[in-house]
């Protein structure tokens, strides 16, 4: 499993959010980001392959960007947020970082999962 994973749940449907495009980036300088990986959530709403299994991320600041606009358009649902960016810090590269996103057309929440 990747050292950085995510899971998107569509609270408005009570189901995993499948097909959400996700980009993982690392901060490379003030207002500069380096793309690390891209993917999309599977039928279970998960992206578990952002980093190769066994690879530790470097310590630093990361950003997960979710293309929530395309997800909701694909479901025929009007939404307020065309995208969600979650910025977090990897302090200990040996740890697993799971960053879930709880999503609805007009709000979202996130937390550090396990």
pLDDT tens-place string over residues 23-34: 999 999 888 999
Q: CA-to-CA distance for 4 and 32, rounded, in angstroms?
A: 20
Dihedrals φ, ψ of 60, to 5°? 155, -170
pLDDT tens-place string over residues 25-83: 999 988 899 999 999 999 999 997 898 777 889 999 999 999 999 999 999 999 999 99
pLDDT the model gives residue 2: 87
pLDDT the model gives residue 77: 97
pLDDT the model gives residue 30: 87
**Domains of the chain (ranges plus CATH)?**
4-110 (2.60.40.180)
């Amino acid at each position: 499993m990747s050292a950085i994973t995510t899971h998107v749940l569509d609270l408005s449907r009570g189901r995993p959010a499948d097909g959400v495009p996700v980009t993982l980036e690392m901060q490379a300088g003030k207002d500069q980001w380096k793309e690390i990986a891209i993917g999309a959530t599977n039928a279970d709403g998960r992206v578990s392959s952002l980093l190769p299994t066994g690879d530790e991320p470097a310590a630093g600041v990361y950003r997960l960007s979710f293309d929530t606009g395309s997800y909701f358009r694909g479901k025929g649902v009007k939404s307020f947020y065309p995208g969600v960016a979650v910025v977090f810090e990897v302090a200990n590269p040996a740890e697993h970082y799971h960053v879930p996103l709880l999503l609805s057309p007009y709000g979202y929440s996130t937390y550090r999962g396990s």
